[in-house]
Structure 1
């Protein structure tokens, strides 16, 4: 029990620090887990081993961060997204609600490959400048993408269903069929949420700026902020189609899995630089301009690797999962799968995906069987309850990628999105119960 208590309080402290914004994520995810490991009786040699293990699990993500941010930064410099922004403004006529709805639809399509990272890489660079141009809150963009992508992530090739299928030893496609209805309802609810939050955003913008007409605004959007000055010498309007082809090829390679994501973006940077900027000095100037953002996010990912390495290596995550069910009174155990489902999104802040499905799920399933709750009902309750919160969790590397691409903060993302995602999760869970997908 001591390991689970230490692990629980460590995660609570880290989440509290992230939400408070009093320290950088680097500090929040390095100091508490090291102190926790030492309190739990592990020595510095073991902490070093945990770091090495955690680092190996996130290194590919860190490398992808560095070159993805540099690549999209270069594409921003050359003006690749300006025609797209202007076209989307024309089509939406600057309508805040239409933009919010379009965000959900684009995220749904982008997530069909089952990769949260590629969804953020496709959607954020294209939509963030539009949000900033229209003075929309960029955290709304993150919320709508995160919720839509999480609902679609119930596909068989997404991680959660594969984990549950492997534990239950069932066919993942058959496991998916009853969830299709929930996915459709989830997308409809996300569209309704987009409309509601769009209206709310419209009122905020009118109150703050007194107008909604920013379509002819001559302010430029650079690195996630609105600036009145832009270096037009960096733009390459005559090379628009070449840069578009390079971007499509890089994202296509990423989605198809032909090359590791980091390598795909590294090659993209290496091709884009000499095409757009002729001299080595100009090329390195573009790398140096975007290196601070890239390295900042890579350092946070490495810190997250230490965090996860310690929690996994010490056994804290497994202990939390195994002891989570022991705190409930016995008369509630027959509803344990529903209770865990309702708490699924908060569990996203406490447990990694593997700990949730490989450690907690088997325990809940066995307890459910003793009360004649079939394993599939337990699986569906835990999937629906948890999956919606995937992209608001500090334990999900794709979330840090989204924050790096948008220049936003984890604490503010949690404050803005958490309760909306939790509400969506609980709503879908009880809809599944009403439809008979989950037995009680």
Structure 2
């Protein structure tokens, strides 16, 4: 069996297991790649090397998970987010549609630093309690943040453009300029989607609960770090500004990149604990209260490290990328860039960002050149077609951070968001063709 077929089957099995919900993500991302590695003829020693390599690539993310979840848990315990939630409800007047629109706008602004992780760290702890208060579907929160952030991620410092620019040996800023109008259209489409989904959500809430206004006691308990099951004795209303300064300082350090994210949150936890809770017993109680969520998500990230380590180490991802373009009928070769662009979001489920841009893109670009397709048209088609689906892919660590912060499941996120994001990417491809950014 070829590596590409074996890798494809492995990924399909993992995605199917995640969507089915029959096993935990840890099981889904460990057993299939281990079996695939042995079927491909690799030894236990090779598997150990793959694990070490994959672990090195995700360890910083896992550490960040642990301390980010504990940090925001402490902030929630102290009551930091409650005034913000009440203020947002007052500003939006509890209007579900307005909340959906505001979610997209916040995600767009938060993603300007180019980091999906920081976008989720900023948006989810602040907005999830509001969604729960209004009985809005938390998966809608993920959809809107993921879509808004992905559109903005076309900026030069976002990652994908840098990879493409390095392959084409061109200036990344020059590569970005034609995409600005696509980003503007994308944000407008995301706002339109927010209005549409908000209308559907409003109808669902009215049908289910018979009302649109809820008190704090009505709110269901969140499964993530932002728990709404509040112990009033943990609240520290007199320290709200102190906690706000601590939280803003941690986020500022995160955005600036002065310190690694994991270290920023570790320091934040070390400061927040004694500020809010005086005795060692109280401090450890807060850590223990949030440790289960933190360690659960860290274990999943480490499992994802094994998954990525096996796919990269065995060469499966590269084989998938190289073979993907070979199955295309010759008659359609002149439209290769459009076809790959249309399949960009599904490719997010099969290829990591590096594999997509460093393995698949050069192959498609070279084949396209032989049929007279301009390299930049190929680049724009693949960027626009793929980037919208970045934050619905189980191969993106930032997605697991979002799931950890919200206590939601990857399978349900895929089912809720995948086709909306795929549809958005196809519409943006059409817009890019109409604008002349992509030449057919």
Q: Provide the residue aligned with 1:162 in structure 2.
A: 162
Report the Cα distance in structure 2 between the residues aligned to 1:229 and 1:130, rounded to whole angstroms.
Answer: 14
Q: Provide the residue aligned with 1:56 in structure 2.
A: 56
Report the Cα distance in structure 2 between the residues aligned to 1:326 and 1:365, rounded to whole angstroms.
Answer: 13
The structural deviation recorded for 1:229 is 5.3
Q: Which runs of 5+ in 2 are unaligned?
A: none
Asked whether the 8 Å contact 2:221–2:229 carries over to 1, the reply is no
Q: Provide the residue aligned with 1:251 in structure 2.
A: 251
Report the Cα distance in structure 2 between the residues aligned to 1:224 and 1:248, rounded to whole angstroms.
Answer: 24
More off after superposition, 381-390 vs 220-229: 220-229
The structural deviation recorded for 1:222 is 5.5
Alignment of 1:66-215 (within 5 A): 66-214=66-214
CA deviation string 1:142-183 (max 9, x = no partner): 000000000000000011000000000000000000000000
The structural deviation recorded for 1:381 is 0.2
Asked whether the 8 Å contact 1:220–1:230 carries over to 2, the reply is no
Q: State TM-score, norm by structure 2.
A: 0.98
Asked whether the 8 Å contact 1:246–1:268 carries over to 2, the reply is yes
Would the alpha carbon gap of residues 93 and 121 (structure 1) be closer, same or farther in structure 2, given more than 3 Å must change? same
Is 2:414 the partner of 1:411? Answer: no
Report the Cα distance in structure 1 between the residues aligned to 2:327 and 2:414, rounded to whole angstroms.
Answer: 26
Report the Cα distance in structure 1 between the residues aligned to 2:151 and 2:245, rounded to whole angstroms.
Answer: 30
Would the alpha carbon gap of residues 182 and 375 (structure 1) be closer, same or farther in structure 2, given more than 3 Å must change? same
The structural deviation recorded for 1:218 is 3.1
Report the Cα distance in structure 1 between the residues aligned to 2:390 and 2:188, rounded to whole angstroms.
Answer: 19
Q: State TM-score, norm by structure 1.
A: 0.98
The structural deviation recorded for 1:205 is 0.1
Q: Secondary structure at the match of 1:177?
A: helix
Q: Which runs of 5+ in 1 are unaligned?
A: none
Report the Cα distance in structure 2 between the residues aligned to 1:308 and 1:229, rounded to whole angstroms.
Answer: 36
Asked whether the 8 Å contact 1:117–1:398 carries over to 2, the reply is yes
What's the RMSD between the two structures over aligned residues?
1.2
The structural deviation recorded for 1:231 is 1.1
Report the Cα distance in structure 2 between the residues aligned to 1:217 and 1:116, rounded to whole angstroms.
Answer: 30
Q: Secondary structure at the match of 1:23?
A: coil
Asked whether the 8 Å contact 2:4–2:319 carries over to 1, the reply is yes
Alignment of 1:10-409 (within 5 A): 10-214=10-214, 216-219=215-218, 223-224=222-223, 230-409=230-409
Asked whether the 8 Å contact 2:222–2:228 carries over to 1, the reply is no
CA deviation string 1:297-341 (max 9, x = no partner): 000000000000000000000000000011111111111100000
